[in-house]
Amino acid sequence: MRGLGFGFGFYKSRRYFQRVLFSIMIAMALVLTGLSAVNSYVLERSVRSVQEDSNLKVLTQIQYNLSYMNEIIVRLSTFAYGDNFLIPLMYSEPLPQMDYIRGYNEMEKLMESSSFLHSMAVYNAGSGELYGSSSEFLVDGGETKRKMLDWLLRSPLPLPTSRLIPVSLGREGGDIDAFAFIVTDALRAYEGKESALILYIKPDWVFDSLRRMNGAGSGQGAIFIRTPDGNLLSDGQSSGVYAPKPEAVTALVAGTDPDRDASSGFVVGNAGDGKSIVTFMRGIGDWTILYIQPYAPLMKEVRESREKALLVTGAFLLIAAAVSFWLSFKLYGPIDAMLRRIRPHVKDGATGGGSNELDLMGDNVLRLSERLREISAEQIVEKHYLRTFLSDGGSIPEADMAQLIERHGLQLASDGPYCVCVFRIDRHADYERATTSSARRLHAFAILNIAQEQLSGDYRCETVDMHDGHSVLILSGPGVGAGMEAARPIVWDIQDTIERYYGLSLTCGIGDPVSRLSQLSAAYRQSCQLCLYMFAKGYKSIVLPEDVRANLSGGRRTLPPDIERRLTEALKKGQLTNAGGELEKAFALLTDFQYDDMLRAVSDLAWAVKNTAAEMINNRLVSISIDPEQIPRIMEGDRSLEDIYMSFLSACAQICETQRAPGAERYEWIVGTIKTLIEQKFQDPNLSQQSIASTVKLTSAYVGKLFKDQCGTTVTEYMNEVRLAHARRLLLQTDDTIADIMDQCGYSNQSYFFRLFKGKFGSTPKEYRIKRSLSS
């Protein structure tokens, strides 16, 4: 931290330091605040969950008490409704005096035997008379009787039977002083048309259970019973402490239980007296038992915990701020050291207030700036315009194109000439399948930067990735007018560098120079078409218009029909040599075709071989080791004619081997093919017996045994013979380094190469070169 300084000027002049500092502080603040918020949320959820379990246990006990009491009432009502002394009161008309006396006596006995009964009444629908057991019923001049009849016969809605109904018999203001239980001989709601027995239950019988549970609780909240009409019944004491609104409670319970089938539930919301916790459970009949608690007192500990967490978070934020300062200084140290080395070389006025430290370093490190500009907003715009020039240049006026070049500082000459150079990765379909998108982006970046670096010495150059496997360079300046043949050695170096470092084979198409910007799109299309001639020229080709001039001259070309006829006849006769000769003639002719004609001719050959194999299977009942349906797929993918030719040879060999017993001619042909492959591809470090067997569509074991039997040596030994002979020639005729010679001969392991060379020639490569130079 020495040399950084701590004055206000230090912070003001170092904007990147400010960014680092504030980024770290904000990140720490977000993490700490987020942890505090999550902790409070989890704690609140935990407390609510525990409270819900506790409340449901309380409501379960109340439900059990009410169910037990309800069962007693049902049994008593069933007994009383069938009592022989009460039946005359319900049905006799007129009622004999003795039956009247016996009925009253029976009601008195039932009242004395049941402590929970408030009173009883019997209604005779025939006479319209109501007989009651309470003292008020007999001595208040008929007032109680009138109330009972009004409630029973003139209720606005039918009264449910065999259920407890809250009623007010003697209290003013509608306070509940009993629960009525109506019994009739019908199961439907009571409408006053039939005789009935009415039991009036003391309210304490119900409310005592609520009162005891409320007293056993924490004193926060109260237990209520909600009737079907939405009224809340309480024990008369707790309702004065906490008085929720019935309609609000009904809305909360209904919103929590949309299917109306759940037996219990838990919801938090406004119950009419502030935020509350409402726990509900189905009781007897249509009753719902509710435990309603004010939210704030229950969450007091959570609130206090949240406040403590905020205090702790604040303290840690202060610590985080101090740590942020220390960490920022540590991270900024290397940048400040670099700035001290750069500043003596910066021109006066170049460190204006509008630049930060990274901008200053970027302005003075040109190479780094060039690589970073690809991801800048300005570079994205430039690449967009370059892609437009190449794909649809004719739609933009040439004056506008020149203006865009000048405005964005593109490395293109405004007056031409121009040339488009397209690099395309060979075997592109296989490459796409085997490579991740991030690796493809890296490779495109490397190709463009390496190509631009090597070509910019002779041309003004702009690069762009066209996102379709094409890496494009637009060259301009006087060097373009001199012709592009001079660019061929530079492009070869680019291809060699990419292959050396990334293992990628590139084909390059270089179009004809054009004089106008509006012609760039035509030049791009021409270069893309030239890349397609990798099909005939082979992998890692450099294709200029003069290289394919013979292909493009004349009209459409096709193979002579005699070749296809003789090929199919040779296959049917099992004459592999003749079939191979016809294939060689066909592919020799194909190299002079236009690209589309090549594809068409190869496809025709593939279908001819496929149809011949299928015909042989159908007509001769022979078994062929290759599936005929796979033969047309030989040309799938971005393969060269050479690869396709070898695949055709392999397919023909497998077809012919079913026609006759293996003979010397066939063996010699296969061995000759293997030797040709080795002599042509010995530079490929991945060349092996397995890859050769895959190319000729035979098993590795079969190839190894056949080659050993025919040549007396293994495939690997022959491959090393070819490579070592080539290495010996390079040692004697060139000044290439040992490492370069290894690469050119397909060796990647130095110790393995040295061991083989010494075993073959008796000395290491270096000693061999020195001895030969001395002897000459």
If DSSP states are collapsed to H, E and C, what string results for 147-187? Answer: HHHHHHHCCCCCECCCCEEEECCCCHHHCCCEEEEEECCCC
Q: List, in sequence order, every residue forming a beta bridge with 485; answer none if it has no partner.
A: none
CB atoms within 10 A of CB 626: 18
The rounded average pLDDT for each run of 10 residues, N- to C-terminus, in the chain (776 residues) is 44 62 78 80 78 79 81 88 88 87 88 85 88 74 82 84 80 69 85 88 76 61 76 64 71 62 75 77 77 75 75 80 74 70 58 54 54 53 74 73 77 82 88 86 88 86 80 85 81 90 90 85 88 87 88 82 87 82 87 87 88 77 70 79 86 74 64 90 90 86 87 91 93 90 91 91 88 73
pLDDT at res. 422: 92
What predicted TM-score, i.e. pTM, was given to this entire model?
0.41
Is the separation of the CB atoms in 222 and 241 below 8 Å? yes
How far is the C-alpha of 637 from the C-alpha of 426, rounded, in Å?
A: 10
Element (H or E) spanning 710, and its range?
A: helix 700-711
Is the separation of the CB atoms in 199 and 76 below 8 Å? yes
Cα–Cα distances in angstroms (integers) from residue 713 to residues 687, 694, 717, in the given order? 17, 20, 6
Rg (CA), the chain: 50
pLDDT at res. 168: 78
Q: Where are the beta strands (DSSP E) in 630-679?
A: none
CB atoms within 10 A of CB 674: 24
How far is the C-alpha of 277 from the C-alpha of 281, rounded, in Å?
A: 14
pLDDT at res. 138: 67
pLDDT at res. 744: 92
State the residue for tokens 């021109």: 347
How far is the C-alpha of 776 from the C-alpha of 770, rounded, in Å?
A: 10
Which amino acid does the sequence have at 635?
M
For each of the domains in the chain, give its residue range(s) and CATH number, in order of start. 82-202 (3.30.450), 206-298 (3.30.450), 368-537 (3.30.70.270), 561-775 (1.10.10.60)
> What would the two tokens of residue 379 be?
């570079």
pLDDT at res. 716: 92
CB atoms within 10 A of CB 717: 12
Cβ within 8 Å of residue 513, ≥6 positions away: 416, 417, 418, 419, 480, 481, 483, 484, 523
How far is the C-alpha of 197 from the C-alpha of 331, rounded, in Å?
A: 91
Is the separation of the CB atoms in 233 and 225 below 8 Å? yes
How far is the C-alpha of 581 from the C-alpha of 577, rounded, in Å?
A: 6
> What would the two tokens of residue 438 be?
């991030």
Helix then strand count (H, E) for the chain reads 33, 15
